[in-house]
Structure 1
Amino acid sequence: MPGGEDGQLLRIEILLAQGRAEAADEALTEALRVLPQSLRLVWLGRDVAFANGRPEVAALRLDQVRQLYGSRPSAYRNPADLVVFGRAALLLGADPKDVLTKVYAPAQKAAPNRRDVYLARGELALSKGDYALAATAFQEGVKQVPNDPDLLSGLARAHEEGDRKEMLAALLAALKLNPRHVPSLLLQADHAIDGERYADAEENLATVLSVNPDQPDAWALRAVLAHLRNDPAAEASARAAALRVWATNPRVDWRIGEKLSKKYRFAEGAERQRQALQFDKTYLAAKAQLASDLLRLGEDAEGWRLAQEVHKEDGYDVEAFNLVTLQDTMAKFTTLRNEDFVVRMTAHEAAVYGPLVMDLLGRAKTALVEKYGAELIAPTTIDIFADPKDFAVRTFGMPDIPGFLGVCFGRVVTANSPASTAKSNTNWQSVMWHEFCHVVTLQLTKNKMPRWLSEGISVYEERQANPAWGQHMTPVYRELILKEGREGLTPVRSMSAAFLAPPTPERLQFAYYQASLVVEFLIAKHGLDKLRAVLRALRDGDDINRALARHIAPLDEIEPAFVAYARDLARAMGPDLNWDKPEKELLRPDAAVQLQGWSALRPRNYWLEQRRIRMLLDDKQWAEAKSALTALLNHYPDQRGDDSALRLLAQVQRELKETAAERETLRKWAAIDGEAADAYLRLAELAAADGEWPEVKLNARRFLEINPLVPAPWRLLAKASAAGPDTATAIMANRTLLRFDPANPSDVHFELARLLQKTGDPAARREVLLALEDAPRHRAALSLLLEIDAARPAGSPSPQP
């Protein structure tokens, strides 16, 4: 036969790639007539059968591979046949680890320059959700076979859920080798859909369909695009085209639903997965995706059950394993609930600050639901995790995805607890307000809004709730806003791209801030009613740019007006300062003369003042540092964060023992910075020393917004509340203090007993007995016990201790 086995395999693969399924079947039949014992031809026959819509024939081909290998295993010891045997063994239920070590490893050792084994290893890892292992396999393959688009495309897929830069590099390399490489074009279309570059996605899919007019994934993605533009007729047509050859192909609906879920359309995605499972109840990818969708929709019972089923059927599926492990952890959580919210958290954290969470959520609901005209599906579920790995698994299915404080899916919110964010001074109340705002806007739009607008509204609403919360103008943001071109502001019409593949983490943070400025601008210049109209239009299926043009103004008017608005804000920050940045060469020790000349032309340069202040602080020249900081603050007073001149000035004033001045500086800092934990604690301590209890209480509460899991703020809150008329808060704070196993529990029990007696609560006697149990000679507790017993009516029963 011309070309032998390899030639026939190539011929059939080319016909399949072109969508010529019937011709491929004829070629396969002809080849098997001559080479009936070819394991590779029989295995390829599965793909031919699927391409012709005959899954029952594909099943027979798999059994034929099993019989051929089982009858003469010694005849199939070459590396290419071993890879086929390994692939078949996996489908027949073999242990993946055994296949890797006992089949693929010997095949790779025997022929390290064959691509088959690297593709098989990588695809196996991808199927289990082990992206790191997949990347390793494909990278090893690329080293051995550097100009193979299939290996490069596989490498791109391995990085799809992680490093998008690496993904794009591998993808572009594959397409450079073969501009009509179908797997790469499909991945490129997928990526374009993520970035809302729908025209680009259509172009990629058109190229795919020019190669293979029946390519089901291409038609599935076209159905996704039609769904996203609210065109049900086109969606149905595209789906029908995807199913034309194989009417019950479960991959089609799985693919549509999986992509819709990535766009946060979990309800529609779940519907597609159910359809896929109707076609094939054993299609594990659809079951796994449905489990994930349901857990994000708050339908926990079915979601967890399906995750367990997936794990039982495939013990190597990484996400399923992670989820069932997490389920065991969450089974120990405490649940707090009312008619609006279900909050799940560790028992200790629920006891310590659970009531604060419920109170905050209630206030957020009051402030935001009516404001945006939303009708929420109750209850909203909030899962709070002390372990960041548990948060990542609940949110993404994988444990090592850092960089997120909270995520909202619509009805479900996941959040890191203060236990995992305390070192960064993150304000958990601000985060929770932000996430609940997502609940409002996502449900209002039925999850049809772009990420940038949802994030922009949430950051904006943080600032509305508390001026110290959320993101604010910084020197870095000022610089970015005033830059021209691509390094500056992102055009409003392209805001989604700023979130998809930011070049640096700093640019991602700036995307959040810019999005909030766009929202602030739209509300300030056009009114909240018009923004609400945009949200309603999105709910009805309109495109964001079209909705903005219809309900607010044409984008050609919005964009220059927004740029002017943002730049006015930027220029208003430190308007009397010079903001030119000196080149690094000017800051070298041997460039002092040049720096002096440069600075003479730029008086009051912000960056040089910062540098001079740091040098003064390093040399402990407190008086000179105080003068420089005071001057800088006169020009730029609203400084936040660790580099804030307010923080540094308070530090200097403390060194100079200027306590009154220090306190006033700390007050200014605390009023504008929602993460100034050091300021809150210091202010509370200073106020407590002077007996100024309202200020103690204010700053203790501020500190609790950052870290309620340490006793100090609770102790201060208890003392301040007891000194004023707020006995209920004092009781609550003292009870919370006991959760920390204090060194002096008898004193806390005694104080609690004293407060309870003040309110006439009979539980006072139990608390005083607990104080005496810990410290039998506690004289004040003994006196209080006598006082309580003397006040009891004659004959009344003693409360149980």
Structure 2
Amino acid sequence: MPTPIDPPHPGPPAGYRRPAAGRPLLAIVVAWGAFTAAGPALAADADEAAKLLRRGDYAGCARQAAEAIRDGERDEAWPALKIRAEMAQGKYDEALKSLKAATRRYPASLNLYLLGRDVRRFNGLAGGEPEAMKDIEEQVQSFPRRYATAEGQVALGRFLLLRGADPKKVLDQFYDSVIRQVPDFLDAYMASAELALDKQDHALAAETLRKAPKEAAEDPRYHYLMALAFADDDRAAAAKSLQEALKINPRYVDALLLTADALVDSEKYADAAKVLDSVSAINPSEPRAWVYRAVLAHLRSDEAAEASARKSALAPWPANPEVDALIGRKLAQKYRFAEAATYLRRALAFDAGYMPARVQLAETLLRLGEEAEGWKLAGEVFAADGYNVVAYNLMTLHDLLAKFRTLEEDGLVVRMDPREADLYGPRVLALLKRARSTLAAKYGATLPSRVIVEIFPRKKEFAVRTFGLPGADGFLGVCFGPVITANSPASQGESPSNWESVLWHEFCHSVTLSKTRNKMPRWLSEGISVYEEGQQDPAWKTVLNPRFREMILGDDLTPLSQLSSAFLAPKSAQHIQFAYFESALAVEFLVKSAGLDGLKGVLDDLGAGRTINDSLPARTRMSLSELDGAFARFARERAEATARGLTWEDVDVADDASSRDVEAWLKSHPTSFKGRQLLATRLIAEKRWPEAKAALTELKERYPEYVGPENPYMLLAAIDRQASDPAAEHAVLDELAARDGDASAAYIRLMELDEAAGNWDGVARNANRLLAVNPLVPAPHRSLARAVEHLGRRDDAIAAWKALALLDDTDPAQTHFRLAKLLGEAGRKDEARREVLKSLEEAPRFLDAHRLLLDLVDNDHAGTTPRPPSGSSHGH
């Protein structure tokens, strides 16, 4: 997923230069080339103490280290272990004393310097960092041989990164060099993965960690880094890695905090709070635990608790930018973009160069529609760190968007590929205007002054604009409130989804997010959007298919009070699709139970800061348990009423079974939907038309909602077509078209039937239906052009012929001629002349085009117009 968009990111772009800082030092330390092995192994006792640290016995580790130091042990690993153990317990003042004593004894230790950064900061001594860095830099420059070990080279790499060295050089000349020469040195893999994660290249981090030596499995830090690498792309793998880390060390704070992070994402706030309590039992001063408490308080609108938790988070280090940056990141993940931006700005007030906050703020501003500042900041991030994958991707996307066409009207800003804008851009604007007038009025919402809609012809650019990284398969559109991103039909292969329903769905999100100030659970947001699709057009409604019916009547129905979990922890792709359907069903249930005003009241409550599970009982006058029970009954009644009496067992017959074989099987399974469906297809294959039609007619009557593969409508249409019964064929296809917003094949055939019958209204209707699915093919534009021309809708005909001129080269002379004629009739003479000349370029002997050109030329220039040659009237 983190792979950059095309072209693959090779590092900084051509001409990119790093600041000069760090170069002389890098040159000095690299000049020593190969190094001497891995350095001295830990003494046996130190190795035992390190195991205590890895297993979470921090007090035991600190005690052993203190005894070794008192006994005169000279290995610098001892004070390092003691400091780590003290910091893990939040004993920051004791760690500072240990650091001071250790640096007096080991003034040239890079490891102690690196450890000391947090020790100094968490003791209010961040101001002394430049002096400490200067001292250690002098040691490195004066005695580079001292660091010519695997451990020293990895420490040097980390130090040089702090100094602003080129990350790729550090990776190549330090970490990779160590891995090549000492392939069992685990810390080199850890450092390399940390660098990749810092640049948001999660795939590279995972790849690096997979190559680590076997003993890595015994280190909780290894599993924690692997969980970070998987966190955005594979939640199951991330959870498994966290379990492995905590199996080794149940008191490993980093892993516990990442567990709490995932629980917050899953809206399991009580469970997250319990994990945070366990972190505080280990380290009462851990800033990140207080950060998550601040986030939880914010989500329940407890301002006092939020402020108190933030104050506690900043207590050890009052200028710690990670505190507000982490709060901002979590709020952004909850779609609280305005509040997130406030916190991210606070983080940057502490440290203007803090890269995680800068990247997150750039993405957040772009999602808020604050584009000028967002793109400026993204550019600054890329200039400062050309290896950051998200920044690189965003700036590549910025260059692409500069080539898009912008259509703007009444506060709606649509950006599209120029060719697509010419083909259906006005239709997009018209649809969005209808959505705004319909949905904003219905829900009483005040929308932002601008709503930005960007439509991408390639999935990877959509994913980068939406998530910062390629991937995100399965998403057709995403709404952040004032910004909507969508995949165009061009990105979806041969069977695109109805783009009109997608944009209606996403614009509904904009309405409900605006009304609630982005304070709504995902299930309700998705449920209302799916519900409103069906309200706008029954053909857009998500139908109860056999699998969903089975899930409702089985064990897969999620209680209404827990519906968010259906999105946050789905068992499969099928379950996430079911979550959308069930959420829409829940909204339908709420409207039936409390009315539309009740649903709007819930949205008002959410905007005021009430939780969904506080609002629902008040608005429906039912307790949560009563709501769950009533909704379950509502859903099951709906499922039982659909395809009543049919069963869903698989058909146990041979692949080459005849209709007679299927009929024999049906004698013992007379209500089998799949059996009846298979029988119909076998009867058609055997050309037993009357029996096939009877079987399909009955199946359609018993389950009219089914529009999936081999549905009765298309099969009946095929029988009617074979029987040369266009009226019957048209009737059954019209039924399907009214039920299925993606039925492209039905729309095409209906256009053919209507044109043959001279039903130009029907041709136009079905051409528009097809354009709502795929406006990038010629057929609907051609049919629409002919239909609206017959209906006297000249402006619509001009638009349709213009679109066809972009798409179809089978008869360009005729296309440009028709367009020229219509433009001339509309008084647009200059445009008409251009079009007729294009027609003549394609067919110089096209007599009608010559006549039209003569008509278009002013009388005083008529004599200069070439006379048409004799011969064919078209002749190209």
Same fold (TM over 0.5): yes
Counterpart of 1:264? 335
Distance (Å, rounded) in 2 between the aligned partners of 1:419 and 1:49? 55
What does 1:471-620 correspond to in 2, within 5 Å? 471-484=542-555, 488-552=556-620, 553-579=622-648, 581-582=649-650, 586=652, 600-616=667-683
The letter for the 2-side match of 1:520 is E
SS at match of 1:566: helix
Q: Which amino acid aligns with 1:457?
A: I
> TM-score, normalised on structure 1?
0.94
Distance 2:496 2:808 in 1: 24
The answer to whether the Cα contact below 8 Å between 1:422 and 1:707 also exists between their aligned partners in 2 is no
Q: Is the 8 A contact 2:108 2:140 kept in 1?
A: no
Cα distance between partner residues in 1 of 2:215 and 2:347: 38
Change (3 A) 1:422 1:428: farther
Give the superposition deviation at 1:652.
4.1
**TM superposition shift of 1:292:** 0.6
Q: Which residue of structure 2 aligns with residue 368 of structure 1?
A: 439
Contact 1:422–1:706 (Cα < 8 Å) also in 2: no
Give the distance between the partners of 2:374 and 2:286, measured in 1 at CA. Answer: 31
* Residue in structure 2 matched with residue 670 of structure 1 by the alignment: 737
Among candidates 74, 93, 97, match of residue 145 of structure 2: 74
Equivalent of residue 44 in structure 1, options 101, 104, 115 = 115
1:470 aligns with 541
Q: How many angstroms apart in 1 are the aligned matches of 2:709 and 2:662? A: 26
The equivalent residue for 2:399 is 328
- Match of residue 629, structure 1, among 687, 696, 720: 696
How far apart are residue 298 of structure 1 and its match? Answer: 0.5
Q: 1:64 to 1:657 in 2, by over 3 A?
A: farther
**Structure-1 separation of matches of 2:161 and 2:860:** 80
Instruction: Find the aligned partners of 1:412 and 1:123 in 2 and give their Cα distance.
Output: 33
1:401 alignment partner AA: A
Local SS of the residue matching 1:245: coil
**Aligned mates of 2:147, 2:861 — CA distance in 1:** 94
- The residue matched to 2:279 in structure 1 has which SS? helix
Q: Deviations over 1:561-610 (max 9, x none)?
A: 1111111111111113223x24x9x5577999999998544312112223
Partner SS for 1:337: strand
Distance 1:147 1:595, change over 3 A: farther
Partner of 1:31: 102
Q: Shift in Å at residue 760 of structure 1?
A: 4.4
Query: What value does the CA root-mean-square deviation take over the aligned residues?
Result: 2.5
Q: Is the 8 A contact 2:767 2:783 kept in 1?
A: yes
The verdict on how the C-alpha distance between 1:797 and 1:734 changes in structure 2, with shifts beyond 3 A counting, is farther
Q: Structure 1: how far apart are the matches of 2:653 and 2:169? A: 60
Please tell me whether the aligned partners of residues 670 and 680 of structure 1 are also in contact (alpha carbons under 8 angstroms): yes
1:314 aligns with 2:385: yes
Distance in 2, Cα, partners of 1:597 & 1:348: 56
Tell whether 2:851 aligns with 1:783: yes
Q: Structure 2: how far apart are the matches of 1:372 and 1:493?
A: 23
Aligned counterparts of 1:621 and 1:596: Cα–Cα separation in 2: 14
Segment of structure 1 superposing worse, 776-785 or 205-214: 776-785
Partners in 2 of 1:594 and 1:706 — Cα distance? Answer: 39
CA contact (8 A) 1:772 1:782 kept: yes
Aligned residue among 472, 479, 487 for 1:408: 479
Q: CA deviation at 1:252?
A: 0.6
Rate the CA distance shift 1:619–1:502 in 2: closer, same or farther, 3 A: farther
Aligned letter for 1:514? E
- Measured at CA, do residues 126 and 681 of structure 1 come closer, stay the same or move farther in structure 2, by a change above 3 Å? same
Structure 1 segment 724-735 matched on structure 2, within 5 A: 724-735=791-802
SS of 1:639's equivalent in the other structure is coil
Aligned partners of 1:363 and 1:264: how far apart in 2?
25
What residue is the counterpart of 2:771 in the other structure? 704
Q: Does 1:690 align with 2:760?
A: no
Change (3 A) 1:146 1:619: farther
Shift of 1:647: 2.2
The CA deviation at 1:34 is: 2.9
Distance change (3 Å), C-alpha of 1:73 and 1:614: farther
1:138 touches 1:152 (CA, 8 Å); kept in 2?
no
Query: Structure 1 pair 759/44, CA: closer, same or farther in 2 (3 Å)?
Result: closer
Q: 1:287 to 1:131 in 2, by over 3 A?
A: same
Q: 2:283 aligns with which of 212, 216, 223?
A: 212
Q: In the alignment, residue 772 of structure 2 is paired with which amino acid?
A: E
Provide closer, same or farther for how the CA distance between residues 77 and 613 of structure 1 changes in structure 2, counting only shifts above 3 A: farther
Partner of 1:56: 127
The answer on whether the counterparts of 2:178 and 2:185 sit within 8 Å (CA) in structure 1 is no
Higher mean C-alpha displacement, 722-731 vs 349-358: 722-731
> In 1, distance between residues paired with 2:461 and 2:312?
41
Q: Which residue of 1 aligns with 2:780?
A: 713
Matched residues in 2 for 1:798 and 1:383: separation?
48
Give the 3 Å change call, closer, same or farther, for CA 33–569 of structure 1 in structure 2. Answer: same
Determine if the alignment matches structure 1 residue 151 to structure 2 residue 218: no
1:356 lines up with 2:427 in the alignment: yes
CA contact (8 A) 2:653 2:665 kept: no
- 1:172 corresponds to 2:243: yes
Residue correspondences, number: 791
Query: Cα gap change, 1:330/1:577 in structure 2, threshold over 3 Å: closer, same or farther?
Result: same
Q: Does the aligned pair in 2 maintain the 1:223–1:238 contact within 8 Å?
A: yes
Q: Matched residue of 1:384: which SS?
A: strand
Amino acid at match of 1:602: H
The Cα of 1:289 is off from its aligned counterpart by: 1.0
Q: Distance in 1 between matches of 2:762 and 2:392?
A: 50
**Would the alpha carbon gap of residues 179 and 597 (structure 1) be closer, same or farther in structure 2, given more than 3 Å must change?**
farther
Identity %: 46
For 1:278-317, list aligned pairs within 5 A.
278-317=349-388
CA gap of 1:127–1:621, structure 2 versus 1, over 3 A, is farther
Q: What's 2:35 paired with?
A: none
